[in-house]
Structure 1
Amino acid sequence: MLSKSLIRRLDLITLQLFVAVYEEGTLTRAAARESIAVSAASKRLVDLEKMLGLTLFVRQAKGMSLTAAGETLLHHGRQMLFNVQKMGLELGEHSHGVRGYVRMLANLSAIIQFLPEDLRDFTALHPQLKTDLEERPSTGVVQGVLDGVADLGICSSDTDTKGLFSVTYRRDNLMVLMPMDHPLADREGLSFSETLGCDYVGLHVASSINMRTHAAAREAGKMLHLRIHVPGFDAMCRMVQAHMGIGILPQKAYELFGRSLGLQAVPLTDEWAVRRLVLVVRDEAALSPVSRLLFEYLHASEGAV
């Protein structure tokens, strides 16, 4: 059977080369990245295809693209390589007294507003457990958990979670950020449509806030006048302070970054401005004991201030 043949014959170096060819687009660049001769790299790929009895790449004049079989191998191969790397990290940590290791992905809102204190308190309760946290946009969080890059993730609830198991983590409220002398600064609340005549400072294009505000503008039949994209809430506050436009950010992010810069934030009254952040995992029952500890701790924080 092919599965038994794979166990005996598939080596990690070839698998890593296969992934590199996909990511680099050409065999030459992939071979250079993996420090292997092009002829040797080519032979490894040919042998891999012969062993599988499948064509993995379409060879083109300007590079190589995956076949459907190649896409399947890419999905599983990345997960295998990640698991090997994770195994090495976790085994190395044991020599320093660490008893467990959790890989986690989260969006910017969760990292800025809630996770610093939550992870601090969790670590105080479980000092021999280690958490590896990486920031990604909500869609990237979902894909990373699906691909096995992380044990659990936190994303906005309006993201397509693609069948992942999800529970509520926290809630936040979006606000309109502006200079104190802005004509709307004395309002107690604003609907998003009322702001669409203003220039905007937006978060990076993949952020859930950026996508939601563009969708809301389309629903209102108006244009979102976006002057600039910025990578985070601190950069947004500085650009708003410089009168580059107004912005949308969570209340706690304003309290952390905007208030000290002399900016004003007015609550959005739209229903979508009250958001849920959700914990996502592939299979709750399949979580490791360490991942389950963190999952249950973060889920229990729902409703905390």
Structure 2
Amino acid sequence: MLPDIDSLALFVRAAELHSLSKAAEASHIGVAAASRRIALLEHRFKTTLLERSPRGVELTAAGVTLLGHAKTLLIHLNHMNADMGDHAAGRKGVLRIIANTSAMTEYLPDDLASFARDNPDVRLVVEERWSAEAIRLLLAGEADIGIVVEGFRTEGLETFAYRSDRLAVIAPPGHALVQLEQMRFEDVLDHDLIALESGSSMMRLLAEQAVVMEKSLSLRVQVRSFEAVCRMVQAGLGVGLLPFQAAKVLGESMNLTVRELAEAWAERHMLLCVKKDRPPSLSLTLLLDHLRG
């Protein structure tokens, strides 16, 4: 007999709150009923899941294992409910899109807007993540389509070409770099740099190229957003590095100079990714065809 969903949801709440009484309150049941549900789970799995103490509850090794499975199951159930709700409302379904920051800032909003106009009965849910995280979510079945920068391992995924961008330098007007005929990364490395956090694919590429040139990457400031990079440059804290299209829109609105890097490696290719063993979906096929076109 399979464990019931309400008991698994209660177990997840208890694990996250470190308290069975708080989990019972959040689940709108009494503490005795909550304790009984956990006991039945432990009897079903023939192992202890929670260690009780006056301070609350903590996960056992078995509880840690179950927590991962239970969270995944509950996420899929929530997606199922949303999908069925969409069908009940007359929509063809929902598509979950995970995209890296470059795609979200540059091309994707307009592409999704045009798809939504042509397919009003398909609901789009969009999240912004680093490329590595987008791939993980796709493989876990938590997204339908991902947009990542080429260069990451994509085993288990089917990939298609999407768009390209080129890295660029953002500098205040009159900065020494602006006077150069060609903007080369080797010259940029002589200055204090403002860029994204280390988890981004762009920072991985820049760090690799700095090693190749046997120079250090002098990162004075690292931030989470493209706009924050431009704001820091505007404040005079250094020169910024961002994809050209996004940098051009943001930088020029702040009276900053934006110049593309000249090196061939500075051009990056984005990929559309879907899971190879995904179930058939007309809505997903329509979106893929739209984005590829």
* Cα distance change of structure 1 residues 94 and 252 upon mapping to structure 2, 3 Å threshold: same
Q: 3-state DSSP class of the match of 2:272? A: strand
Residues 1:130 and 2:113 are matched in the alignment:
no
* Cα distance change of structure 1 residues 238 and 126 upon mapping to structure 2, 3 Å threshold: same
The amino acid across from 1:236 in the alignment is: V
* Cα distance change of structure 1 residues 252 and 153 upon mapping to structure 2, 3 Å threshold: same
Question: After the TM superposition, which residues 1-305 of structure 1 pair with which residues of structure 2 at under 5 Å, given as runs?
Answer: 5-6=1-2, 10-21=3-14, 24=16, 26-27=18-19, 31=23, 34-35=26-27, 41=34, 43-54=36-47, 64=58, 67=61, 70-71=64-65, 73-283=66-276, 286-298=279-291, 300-301=292-293
Q: Distance in 2 between matches of 1:41 and 1:216?
A: 56
The TM-score, its normalising length taken from structure 2, stands at: 0.85
The amino acid across from 2:5 in the alignment is: L
The alpha carbon displacement at 1:110 in A equals 0.7
The alpha carbon displacement at 1:274 in A equals 1.1
Tell me the matched-pair count. 291
The amino acid across from 2:188 in the alignment is: T
Q: Distance in 1 between matches of 2:168 and 2:83?
A: 41
The amino acid across from 2:18 in the alignment is: T
The alpha carbon displacement at 1:70 in A equals 4.3
The alpha carbon displacement at 1:205 in A equals 3.3
| Contact preservation (8 Å) 1:151, 1:287 | no
* Cα distance change of structure 1 residues 288 and 187 upon mapping to structure 2, 3 Å threshold: same
| Contact preservation (8 Å) 2:197, 2:222 | yes
* Cα distance change of structure 1 residues 199 and 101 upon mapping to structure 2, 3 Å threshold: same
* Cα distance change of structure 1 residues 95 and 228 upon mapping to structure 2, 3 Å threshold: same
Give ranges in structure 1 of 5+ residues lacking alignment: none
The C-alpha deviation readout for 1:77-113, integer Å capped at 9, x for no partner, is 3332222212222333345442221111111111111
* Cα distance change of structure 1 residues 112 and 27 upon mapping to structure 2, 3 Å threshold: same
Q: 3-state DSSP class of the match of 2:182? A: coil
The amino acid across from 1:88 in the alignment is: N
The amino acid across from 1:31 in the alignment is: A
The alpha carbon displacement at 1:211 in A equals 2.8
Give ranges in structure 2 of 5+ residues lacking alignment: none
| Contact preservation (8 Å) 2:14, 2:57 | no
The alpha carbon displacement at 1:284 in A equals 5.8
The alpha carbon displacement at 1:117 in A equals 1.1
* Cα distance change of structure 1 residues 157 and 45 upon mapping to structure 2, 3 Å threshold: farther
The alpha carbon displacement at 1:192 in A equals 2.3
Aligned CA-pair RMSD = 3.0
| Contact preservation (8 Å) 1:57, 1:67 | no
Q: Distance in 1 between matches of 2:61 and 2:214?
A: 41
Q: 3-state DSSP class of the match of 1:79? A: helix
Moved more, 242-251 or 58-67: 58-67
Q: Distance in 2 between matches of 1:68 and 1:187?
A: 61
The alpha carbon displacement at 1:220 in A equals 3.4
The alpha carbon displacement at 1:136 in A equals 1.0
* Cα distance change of structure 1 residues 205 and 92 upon mapping to structure 2, 3 Å threshold: same
- The percent of aligned pairs where both chains have the same amino acid is 35
Q: Distance in 2 between matches of 1:137 and 1:293?
A: 25
Q: Distance in 2 between matches of 1:185 and 1:59?
A: 64
The C-alpha deviation readout for 1:190-212, integer Å capped at 9, x for no partner, is 33232222111121332221232
| Contact preservation (8 Å) 2:92, 2:121 | yes
The alpha carbon displacement at 1:67 in A equals 3.6
Q: 3-state DSSP class of the match of 1:82? A: helix
